[in-house]
Amino acid sequence: MKNQTKKVFSGGLGQLTIPLVAIALLVIFNLFRDPSFFSIGIMHNNDGNIVLSGNLISIINGASELAILAMGMTLVTAACGGQDISVGAAAAIAGSVFVKILKSMPSITGGTVVLAFISACIVAMLFGTFNGTLVAVFKIQPMIATLILYTCGRSIAYWINGGATPTVSSPIISGIGSFIPGIPIPTPVLIVVLAAILFRLLFHFTSLELFTQSVGINGSAARLNGINSTFIKLLSFIILGICVAIAGTIGVSRLGLINHETLLLDVEMDTILAVAIGGNNLGGGKFKIGGSILGAYVIQMLTITLYAMKVSSTDVKAYKAIVIILLVVIGSPVVKARVSKLMSQLRTAKAENLTKGAQ
Amino acid sequence: MKKNTNVQREPLTDTQLLMTITICIFIGMYLLAMLFLGGGFLHAQQIFDMLNDNASLIIVTFGLTIVMIGGGIDISVGAVTSLVVMSCVLYLNNGGNLFVSVLLALGIGLAFGVVQGFLISYLEIQPFIVTLAGMFFARGMTTILSVNPQKVDHEGFARLRDSKIEIPWLGYVAKNGNLVPARIELGVIVALLCLVFIFILLKYLRLGRDFYAMGGNQMSALMLGINVKRTRFLSYLISGLLSGISGYVFMMHTGAGNATNAAGMEMNAIASSIIGGTLLTGGVGNVIGSFFGTMTLTTIKKIVVSSGLNDPWWQSITTGGMLCFFILLQSVVLGQRAKKKSA
Q: pLDDT tens across A156-194, in order?
A: 999 999 888 898 888 888 888 888 888 888 999 999 999
Same domain, A331 and A294: no
Contact A69, A247 (CB under 8 A): yes
Query: Has residue A5 been placed in a domain?
Result: no
Query: Has residue B33 been placed in a domain?
Result: no
Q: How far is B305 from chain A (nearest CA, A)?
A: 15
- Taking 50 as the threshold, does the pLDDT of residue A9 lie above it? no
pLDDT at residue B1, as a whole number: 44
pLDDT at residue A314, as a whole number: 81
pLDDT at residue B214, as a whole number: 93
CB distance B320–A325 less than 8 Å? no
pLDDT at residue B9, as a whole number: 63
d(CA A75, CA A286): 10
pLDDT at residue B34, as a whole number: 87
Helix (H, G, I), strand (E, B) or coil at B153: coil
CB distance B317–A159 less than 8 Å? yes
Q: How deeply is A71 buried, as exposed, middle or buried, from its count of CB atoms within 10 A (0-12, 13-18, 19+)?
A: buried
- Taking 60 as the threshold, does the pLDDT of residue A5 lie above it? no
- Taking 70 as the threshold, does the pLDDT of residue A359 lie above it? no
How far is the CA of B111 from the CAs of A185, A331, B100, B240, B243, in angstroms? 46, 23, 16, 8, 11
Query: Has residue B120 been placed in a domain?
Result: yes
Same domain, A157 and A253: yes
The phi-psi region of residue A316 (left if phi > 0; otherwise alpha if psi is between -120 and 50; otherwise beta) is alpha
Which residues of chain B make contact with A151, given a CB cutoff of 8 A?
A: 267, 271, 316, 319-320, 323
How far is the CA of A7 from the CAs of A136, A331, B187, B275, in angstroms? 39, 17, 58, 50
Taking CA–CA distances from A134, the nearest residue in chain B reads B328
pLDDT at residue A13, as a whole number: 62
Query: Has residue B85 been placed in a domain?
Result: yes
Query: Has residue B71 been placed in a domain?
Result: yes
Q: Mention every residue, 6+ apart, whose C-beta is less than 8 A from residue A343.
A: none
pLDDT at residue B38, as a whole number: 75
Same domain, A276 and A332: no
Taking CA–CA distances from B324, the nearest residue in chain A reads A148
- Concatenating the DSSP letter of every residue in B190-223 gives HHHHHHHHHHHHHHHSHHHHHHHHHHH-HHHHHH
Query: Torsion over CA of A108, A110, A114 and A117, rounded to 10 degrees?
Result: 50
- pTM score > 0.95 for this model? no
Least Cα distance to B28 among B317, B292, B336 occurs for: B292
Per the structure, the count of domains in chain A is: 2
- Taking 50 as the threshold, does the pLDDT of residue A49 lie above it? yes
Q: How far is B280 from chain A (nearest CA, A)?
A: 7
CB distance A328–B130 less than 8 Å? yes
Q: How far out from the chain centre does Cα B185 lie?
A: 17
Query: Has residue A359 been placed in a domain?
Result: no
CB distance A282–B129 less than 8 Å? yes
Same domain, A70 and A27: yes
Contact A43, A53 (CB under 8 A): yes
Same domain, A301 and A331: no
H or E stretch at B184: strand B179-185
CB distance A152–B321 less than 8 Å? yes
ipTM for the complex? Answer: 0.82
* A10: confidence class by pLDDT, cuts 50, 70, 90: very low
CB distance A151–B313 less than 8 Å? no
Q: Tell whether A130 lies on the interface with B, counting CB pairs under 8 A.
A: no
As beta bridge partners, residue B166 has B183
Q: How far is A2 from chain B (nearest CA, A)?
A: 32
CB distance B274–A147 less than 8 Å? yes
pLDDT at residue B290, as a whole number: 94
Residues of chain B with pLDDT under 70: 1-10
What is the 8-class DSSP label of residue B12? P
Same domain, A194 and A330: no
pLDDT at residue A147, as a whole number: 87
Which residues of chain A make contact with B324, given a CB cutoff of 8 A?
A: 148
Among the ranges given (A120-124, A245-249, B175-179, B189-193), the one the predictor scored with the smallest mean pLDDT: B175-179
Q: Helix crossing, B77-93 with B44-69: angle to 10°? A: 120
Query: Has residue B13 been placed in a domain?
Result: no
Same domain, A74 and A144: yes
Helix (H, G, I), strand (E, B) or coil at B47: helix
CB distance A329–B125 less than 8 Å? yes
Taking CA–CA distances from A280, the nearest residue in chain B reads B126
Query: Has residue B98 been placed in a domain?
Result: yes
Contact B37, B299 (CB under 8 A): no
Q: How deeply is B241 buried, as exposed, middle or buried, from its count of CB atoms within 10 A (0-12, 13-18, 19+)?
A: buried
Same domain, A250 and A340: no
Per the structure, the count of domains in chain B is: 1
Between B129, B271, B274, which is nearest A276 by CB? B129
Neighbours of A340 (CB within 10 A): 12
Among the ranges given (A5-14, A97-106, A310-319, B282-291), the one the predictor scored with the smallest mean pLDDT: A5-14
d(CA B169, CA B180): 10
CB distance B327–A321 less than 8 Å? no
Instruction: List the alpha helices (DSSP H) in chain B.
Output: 14-36, 44-69, 77-93, 98-117, 127-145, 155-162, 186-204, 206-216, 218-223, 228-254, 265-275, 287-306, 314-342
Q: Mention every residue, 6+ apart, whose C-beta is less than 8 A from residue A256.
A: A167, A168, A169, A173, A174, A177
How far is the CA of A86 from the CAs of A152, A204, A254, B222, in angstroms? 9, 29, 21, 35
Query: Has residue A6 been placed in a domain?
Result: no
d(CA B207, CA B233): 12
Least Cα distance to A296 among A272, A327, A328, A322 occurs for: A272
Same domain, A210 and A322: no
Same domain, A230 and A92: yes
CB distance A149–B320 less than 8 Å? yes
Query: Has residue B331 been placed in a domain?
Result: no
| CATH code of residue B253 | 1.10.3470
* A67: confidence class by pLDDT, cuts 50, 70, 90: very high
* Three-state DSSP string of chain A: CHHHHHHHHHHHCHHHHHHHHHHHHHHHHHHHHCHHHHCCEEEECCCCCEEEECHHHHHHHHCHHHHHHHHHHHHHHHHHCCCCCCHHHHHHHHHHHHHHHHHHCCCCCHHHHHHHHHHHHHHHHHHHHHHHHHHHCCCCCHHHHHHHHHHHHHHHHHHHCCCCCCECCCHHHHHHHCCCCCCCCCHHHHHHHHHHHHHHHHHHHCCHHHHHHHHHHCHHHHHHCCCCHHHHHHHHHHHHHHHHHHHHHHHHHHHCECCCCCCCCCHHHHHHHHHHHCCCCCCCCCCCHHHHHHHHHHHHHHHHHHHHCCCCCCCHHHHHHHHHHHHHHHHCHHHHHHHHHHHHHHHHHHHHHHHHHHC
- Which tops the pLDDT comparison, A38 or A120? A120
* Domain encompassing residue A112: 12-310
Same domain, A64 and A95: yes
Query: Has residue B126 been placed in a domain?
Result: yes
CB distance A143–B281 less than 8 Å? no
Mutate to test the interface with A, among B125, B274, B309, B319 (most CBs of A within 10 A): B125
- Which tops the pLDDT comparison, A191 or A333? A191
Neighbours of A36 (CB within 10 A): 10
Q: Tell whether A149 lies on the interface with B, counting CB pairs under 8 A.
A: yes
Which residues of chain A make contact with B274, given a CB cutoff of 8 A?
A: 144, 147
Least Cα distance to A83 among A151, A145, A143 occurs for: A143
Same domain, A212 and A337: no
Taking CA–CA distances from B268, the nearest residue in chain A reads A151
* Domain encompassing residue B270: 49-170+181-300+314-324
Query: Has residue A258 been placed in a domain?
Result: yes
Give the torsion sign (CA, B12, B14, B15, B20).
positive
